[in-house]
Amino acid sequence: MPHDTKGFRWRDAALPLLASGALTPVGPVTAVRIGAALRRYGPSLATVLAISAARHADRTAIIDERGAVTYGTLQRRAEAISAALHALHPGAKTLAVLCRNHRGFIEATVAGAQLGCELVFLNTDLPAAQLAQILDRHRPDILVHDAEYETAIAGTGFAGTRLCADGGTAEPSLDSLARQSHPAAPRVRVPVKITLLTSGTTGLAKGVSRPISQRVLLEMVATSMSATRFGTRDVLVLAPPFFHGFGLALLTGALALGATVITRTRFDPEVALGDIERHRATVFVGVPVMIQRLMAVPEQRRREFRTDSLRLAVTGAAPIAPVTISRFLAAFGPILVNGYGSTEAGVVSIATADDLLFSPKTAGRPAIGVSVRVLRADRTPAATGETGTIFVRGGLGYHGYVAEANSPAPAKEIVDGHVNTGDMGHLDADGRVYVDGRDDDMIVSGGENIYPKEVEDVLADHPAIGDTVVIGVPSAEFGQVLRAYVVPAAGHAAPGDDELKAHIRARLERYKVPKEFRALDRIPRNPSGKVLRKQLDARPSDLTS
């Protein structure tokens, strides 16, 4: 039995790349500008923007709450900001970004890349205590932040250079630096590193730092083109947080093509539908909870928005219930693509619209340059359809975690160059990947192994349930049992526990039925959609009190 799955291939991307417009020949002046950018900035986000600015200077790059900005203007501002930063802080090695989704995030990121700084992207929902610890761990020379974080940053004792990003009154700011004139910073001679924080929901977020090579960039672009058929004329409503790997990857791809990105600092499903209608958007990108919130908009209200311009929707970064996929496909047509990956491994696989029509449960086929193996507990290959631990090699590659002060960095298990993702899953006969749950989520109840995700998917299929999460809790009799938290769907009362138990028993084994149900107004989640389990019992009300 072969160890590796059948994934995307370079030839899968050939026609989409040609059709995208990305390979359209350019004139000699534009070619010189592109060559200069490649020599000056190397494989980085700075080069991505510079190339699109050379090709599409007058095209709208970003539409945010402040309005529209073209590629040419975005590039000129980033160049002015990086030159001013070099004059203000020569030799800066690390730049951190604490921004919501708007042009300032892009300007800060590109300016930092133009300086050759390591780029550290900070979660905008970090508690003040964790923010202080992470700033102490990474020690950025420059911190670019939104005005709303001024008080939190002041409490951390951060002593480096601070810049306001979102048009606030604090000085210096990106706006004030963009108005200055200084000699350009020196040429970047090494690949720019990016550091992402894991989106785990317990403990201090780990830092994952890596250089981005030209080969990896090309493989990611090729896989994306194979699955999505992005084009230079696409208009994207891009909702996931830019600081997260999923949002950053889609933002980078859109900027590389010269597409137009519409974004908001906070996601609202009806605002997103309005943006799709107003700008005739062709692509919607959202994490699963955003897809879920779109589908929670009452059908009559949703139909008031004209969304027929959409040809593609992309989701990823967290598990999505198969029923949510099915409902989305029924409402918008077969346009959904689902990506699977992690901060540590990067993009692992992509399920195309055809894959999801085949099975809404699949995570699709491995990305170009990525090898996926499913291994048993003894680390021998699992059989087709057999659940095991998912190991991945390739893609962005695993370069380890950033070490904490006075302690070594935690390590991931690696087998034959493949890193343990922490996910459990299986492969089908055609090499598609299926994620069955997290290794650390699995519980043993009365001697039976249970993955809560399977129960969540069944509960999500109940018409009166809008959102749900299932966890294991200690039990004197069984060792562990399941507890389900449920949010009633809009316009529905919370179902009784007997009704929910019968719903689950009709589809799963009896031992997978939760012993307890609790109702919540909402499931607490982080910006990427992962459940904040420590907050589940903050103010629950028993479903059957």
Where is pLDDT greater, at 395 or 129? 129
- At residue 76, the pLDDT reads 97
Residue 311 has pLDDT above 90, yes or no: yes
Looking at domain 442-542, its CATH superfamily turns out to be: ANL, C-terminal domain (3.30.300.30)
- The DSSP H or E segment spanning 473 is strand 465-475
Q: Please report, to the nearest 10 degrees, the dihedral formed by the alpha carbons of residues 489, 494, 495, 497 taken in order.
A: 130
Where is pLDDT greater, at 4 or 419? 419
Contact predicate 192/44, CB 8 Å: yes
Using CA atoms, how far residue 337 sits from 127, 356, 466, 480, 536, in Å, is 33, 8, 22, 36, 30
Q: At 221, is the pLDDT very low, low, confident or very high (cuts 50, 70, 90)? A: low
pLDDT digit string, tens, across residues 373-386: 999 999 999 999 99
Residue 72 has pLDDT above 70, yes or no: yes
pLDDT digit string, tens, across residues 233-271: 999 999 999 998 888 888 988 998 899 999 999 999 999
- At residue 544, the pLDDT reads 39
- How far is residue 523 CA from its own chain's centroid? 19
pLDDT digit string, tens, across residues 488-529: 998 889 899 999 999 999 999 888 999 999 999 999 988 777
Residue 479, judged by CB atoms within 10 A of its CB (0-12, 13-18, 19+), counts as middle
Whether omega before 172 lies within 30 degrees of 0, making that bond cis, reads: yes
Q: Please give the class, per CATH, of domain 42-212.
A: alpha beta
Where is pLDDT greater, at 138 or 62? 62
Q: At 35, is the pLDDT very low, low, confident or very high (cuts 50, 70, 90)? A: confident
Residue ranges in 185-302 assigned as alpha helix (H): 214-228, 245-257, 269-279, 288-296, 299-302
Residue 92, judged by CB atoms within 10 A of its CB (0-12, 13-18, 19+), counts as buried
Q: Domain residue spans in the chain?
A: 42-212, 442-542
Where is pLDDT greater, at 347 or 135? 135
**CA–CA separation, 26 vs 34, rounded Å?**
10
Cα angle for residues 117, 209, 109 (degrees, 5° grid): 40
- At residue 411, the pLDDT reads 66
Bridge partner list, 331: none
**CA–CA separation, 219 vs 526, rounded Å?**
29
Using CA atoms, how far residue 115 sits from 44, 142, 192, 207, 481, in Å, is 11, 11, 9, 21, 53
Residue 4 has pLDDT above 80, yes or no: no
- At residue 346, the pLDDT reads 72
Instruction: Give the 3-state secondary structure of residue 364.
Output: strand
- The pTM score is 0.84
**CA–CA separation, 413 vs 536, rounded Å?**
30
**337-349: b or e for each residue (b if 16 or more CB lie within 10 Å)?**
bbbbbbbbbbbbb
**What is the chain's mean pLDDT, rounded?**
86
Tokens of 544: 């059957």
